[in-house]
Structure 1
Amino acid sequence: MLKRTRSLLYLCIVTALSPALPSQANSLDLPDIGTAASGTLTIAQERQYGDAYMRMLRNSQPIISDPVINEYIESLGHRLVANANDVKTPFTFFMIRDRNINAFAFFGGYVALHSGLFLHAKSESELASVMAHEIAHITQRHLARSMEDQARRSPATLAALAGSLLLAIAAPEAGIAAMTATTAGNAQSQINYTRSNEQEADRFGIATLAKAGFEAQAMPRFFGRLADEYRYASTPPPMLLTHPLPEARITDSRARAASYPEKHLSPSLSYHLTRSRIVARYAGINGEAALDWFNRAEKGASQQLKPAFDYGRALVYLDKRDFDKAQPMLEALLKQDPNNNFYLDAATDLYLGKKEYQKAQSLLETALKVNPKNPVLTINYANSLIEDSKNQQAVKVLQRYTHDNPDDLNGWHLLSQANSHLGKSQEDLAARGEILALKADWNKAIQYYTQASKLADLGSLEQARYDARIDQLMSQRDRFMALQ
């Protein structure tokens, strides 16, 4: 019973992982029922729950806070969102370090990708097909509709079900207990409802994929390959457990994709640069294994992807502090494409590793003139200033950055570090308080701000700012707790 309930809970959490229905071809096959849940759970409530879930995930999952990777998946995701139907919330895309093939979406427009997807998706269109599927789960409000369906068949209210979901993330066993009464008796209907959501998300996702200029055929190709690869596996990847791929679903997606013009796109260098970065740093393999992977992968690849493999090798050498091997590779890549953030980020690491701080700063200052306020460049620039003991200058950069990007842990970590070096304990505590709040550790966040307030001069503007933030955090904590 416990295993069944746990899987049902997980089905609810990840119910948004499927591609979507075409808006032009065969557009009359399905009615637009994406707003069916609007009468019970509002968009504002979904966003509130989504924010709460995201804070819990930051505290419990190995989320990759890599500015370069985040920039790529956000760019790709928003290209898809711009071509999706029924978009009612902002979208946030992020990556979890996990070699298992999976992705999931939840309230508030949040889409998570496992790093393992990049090891199995062979092209940008294949990765985009998974993301389009997840986007469709959100735009069609499948999680809210699934909960609404459960609420009709049980004494539980939609708010109670959503609260149990949040509680399950915060304290898994308690959440499972809370869900038992409402889900354990409805296993088959929940599974059927989820399968219909998967098919609907496939159809809407293919439409989004095609409209965004990707290969519509990439979705059935990727899912078909997964189904064939794991057909007889004793432990299939989580994606196939929560998003089963019966032959009927694959056949339907192939027919749907066939109604769109076939495209043959050139390989995306940005996708393969991201893939190389994941292999080098987040695949859980050592440097020698990563170098072997790059050498084998390059043999059958297009010549235009050679920079991606050189970049991956350069990262391995950087991480091994073999700067003599990394430097000629990175400088050659920068010469080819001087405004490429993948190369600029790695070159910054190279120069900082060699303690050539001014060289790193000059490189980034030039790049920031072309692309001001870019998160990758700004974070690297702030880090280079801290490494060069220019902490006061770094604080000024990071204060602007954290104002513009308040949910980025990288900015707060660096701001804490710079203030600590300057001996500004109260500002260090405030930055650490923001990190804790982003992870839903409200009481400790309030505690850190309270300590900061005590360190500030009595009656100063600084103290007033800390006290005002304490009031805000207490209100946020109360709203968060009320959700459970």
Structure 2
Amino acid sequence: MTATNLKRKASILATLLSASLCFGAQSFANSTDLPDIGTTAGATLTIDQERHYGDAYMRILRASQPIVSDPVLSEYVSSLGYRLVANASDVKTPFTFFLIRDRNINAFAFFGGHVALHTGLFLHANTEGELASVVAHEIAHVTQRHLARRMEDQARKTPVTIAALAASILLTIAAPEAGIAAITATQAGSIQSAINYTRSNEKEADRVGMSTLIKTGYDPHAMPHFFGRLADQYRYASKPPPMLLTHPLPEDRITDTRARADAYPSKPVVPVLEFHMAKARIVARYVGINSDGALDWLKRKEKSAPAKIKAAYRYGKALVYLDTKKLDKAEALLVQLQKELPNNNFVLDALSDLNIAKKTPQKAQQLLEDALKTKPRNPTLEINLANVLIEQDKNKEAVRLLQRYTHSNPDDSNGWHLLSKAHANLGDSANEVAARGELYALSANWNRAIQSFTQAAQLSELGSLQQARFDARIDQLLQQRDQFMALQN
């Protein structure tokens, strides 16, 4: 992101959060029936308000950050996150897990149960347990309501200080350097108070996160192993990664997590194939190295890997061959992988791409339909099937599938993009621009979204049910835009 964009987003977040403090205080003053929140953060924000701000910030991120809309990786990260949430305590909000394409090591959580992971995190985690320890830590930040508690802590200070610090909270977790610059404009005493409060939050997130990690079945030592290795690697770095700016790792914190882990029996670390396949996919497609560099890394890893996970690196090589149009090499690897892993979504997704590239999409359709009998309504399989149907000019079938898909997965840009494409192929301009309008809304581009649905209504038959549906959506979008803009007033 450019410096100009960072300043613009910082300004948006400043007004967003300044308004949130006033709104939260007013709601608290007018409420006689406070929710049971399990923390001391109720005086600043309610759970519903947190969800509202989380949704707003997620839309800003979609517009400003390289969010990875990869169906297989999204499914993997979400599956891991939901397993951990199922074993977490004090869960009071739905969770959303997503990836940002960034080689820097970082993870952050914000209002409304949103947890972001940088793709670079996969490059430094050696096991799924290590990755899970970071996700569990971020889940704890949400369940313990640390952002709201930071706001409450600062609510004891002057309004000017509140506004300045609150404006930096969400910015610092996503863009630490820009956030630190924002904080330096505030009073020195408040800075130290915020840092101390953050450090106590980090220790609490470690403790609560480790409990979640253990309940989910992971080795408790995964957390101190990852933290210790990260601290050692960047101990003398002049520019530490973003994760260490927002999650400082002083020696006592590492010692605490190690002592806590030692209180539990160690569990054998069993290599998880899906974790290594996700890592291989990220190396092949999302770290910005050329094909030769990616192949070299994958080959070296395959040579030293345990037999159980060698398939992950063969899969990564197949992706590199596929992306560089070496289809015969890709096919040889993927056919063998399919025999070994017949219902693996990583492999099925790659086979779909292969068959599209080879102009044999009907083979991919059969594979995906067979897999959906075993895993009905699976989002990765459905979005691949929709793509394959469009490639075969079976647009009516694709539309039927995608209408159901977007209803179940309204925040997935892939569904709306393909739905717009299928409608365009059918010459249905009204529904094409309506689907495009949903994409604009996901990124808080409210005016373009409303314009799209206005155009869709004009293209519809006068007085038709379709026109009425588009008009109703315009009313919804106007309300959402007003709510979003009200955060800046």
TM-score by length of 2: 0.89
Aligned residue number for residue 253 of structure 1: 257
| Superposition pairs of residues 136-147 of structure 1, within 5 angstroms | 136-147=140-151
Q: Provide the rounded CA distance (Å) in 1 between the counterparts of 2:293 and 2:144.
A: 42
Among 305, 325, 340, the alignment partner of 1:301 is: 305
Q: Provide the rounded CA distance (Å) in 2 between the counterparts of 1:40 and 1:310.
A: 51
Among 450, 453, 460, the alignment partner of 1:456 is: 460
Report the CA distance between 1:177 and its aligned residue.
10
Q: Provide the rounded CA distance (Å) in 2 between the counterparts of 1:465 and 1:336.
A: 48
Q: Secondary structure at the match of 1:152?
A: coil
- Whether 2:243 is the aligned partner of 1:239: answer yes
Aligned residue number for residue 22 of structure 1: none
Q: Secondary structure at the match of 1:105?
A: strand
Among 406, 420, 434, the alignment partner of 2:410 is: 406
Q: Provide the rounded CA distance (Å) in 2 between the counterparts of 1:335 and 1:172.
A: 46
Report the CA distance between 1:240 and its aligned residue.
0.8
Q: Secondary structure at the match of 1:389?
A: coil
Pair 437,177 (structure 1): closer, same or farther in 2 beyond 3 Å: farther
Among 470, 477, 480, the alignment partner of 1:476 is: 480
Identity in percent: 69
Q: Provide the rounded CA distance (Å) in 1 between the counterparts of 2:187 and 2:466.
A: 50
Aligned residue number for residue 383 of structure 2: 379
Aligned residue number for residue 120 of structure 1: 124
- Whether 2:162 is the aligned partner of 1:188: answer no
Aligned length in residues: 459
Q: Secondary structure at the match of 2:108?
A: strand
Pair 167,146 (structure 1): closer, same or farther in 2 beyond 3 Å: closer
Pair 178,481 (structure 1): closer, same or farther in 2 beyond 3 Å: farther
**8 Å CA contact 1:449, 1:466 repeated in 2:** yes
Q: Provide the rounded CA distance (Å) in 2 between the counterparts of 1:329 and 1:455.
A: 48
Q: Secondary structure at the match of 1:93?
A: strand
Q: Provide the rounded CA distance (Å) in 2 between the counterparts of 1:275 and 1:198.
A: 26
| Superposition pairs of residues 149-188 of structure 1, within 5 angstroms | 149-155=153-159, 186-188=190-192
Q: Provide the rounded CA distance (Å) in 1 between the counterparts of 2:131 and 2:411.
A: 25
Residues 267-301 of structure 1, C-alpha deviations (whole Å, 9 max, x = no match): 00010000000000001111110000011112321
Q: Provide the rounded CA distance (Å) in 2 between the counterparts of 1:481 and 1:52.
A: 10
Aligned residue number for residue 341 of structure 2: 337
Relative contact order (C-alpha < 8 Å, sep 6+): which is higher?
Answer: 1
**8 Å CA contact 2:176, 2:245 repeated in 1:** no
TM-score by length of 1: 0.90
- Mind listing any 5+ residue stretches in structure 1 that lack a counterpart? 14-31
**8 Å CA contact 2:395, 2:422 repeated in 1:** yes
Q: Provide the rounded CA distance (Å) in 2 between the counterparts of 1:338 and 1:162.
A: 50
Q: Provide the rounded CA distance (Å) in 1 between the counterparts of 2:262 and 2:66.
A: 38
**8 Å CA contact 1:398, 1:411 repeated in 2:** yes
**Amino acid corresponding to residue 150 of structure 2 in structure 1:** S
**8 Å CA contact 1:154, 1:182 repeated in 2:** no
Among 355, 359, 364, the alignment partner of 2:368 is: 364
Q: Secondary structure at the match of 2:454?
A: helix
C-alpha RMSD of the superposition: 2.7
Report the CA distance between 1:469 and its aligned residue.
0.1
Aligned residue number for residue 91 of structure 1: 95
**8 Å CA contact 2:164, 2:183 repeated in 1:** no
Report the CA distance between 1:445 and its aligned residue.
0.4
Aligned residue number for residue 137 of structure 2: 133
Aligned residue number for residue 23 of structure 1: none
Aligned residue number for residue 25 of structure 1: none
Q: Provide the rounded CA distance (Å) in 2 between the counterparts of 1:185 and 1:221.
A: 34
**8 Å CA contact 2:218, 2:267 repeated in 1:** yes
Residues 129-173 of structure 1, C-alpha deviations (whole Å, 9 max, x = no match): 000000000000000000111111222597997677679999999
Among 45, 58, 81, the alignment partner of 1:41 is: 45
- Mind listing any 5+ residue stretches in structure 2 that lack a counterpart? 1-5, 18-35
**Amino acid corresponding to residue 223 of structure 2 in structure 1:** M
Q: Provide the rounded CA distance (Å) in 1 between the counterparts of 2:324 and 2:472.
A: 46
Q: Provide the rounded CA distance (Å) in 1 between the counterparts of 2:460 and 2:177.
A: 42
Aligned residue number for residue 262 of structure 1: 266
**Stretch deviating more after TM superposition (144-153 or 182-191):** 182-191
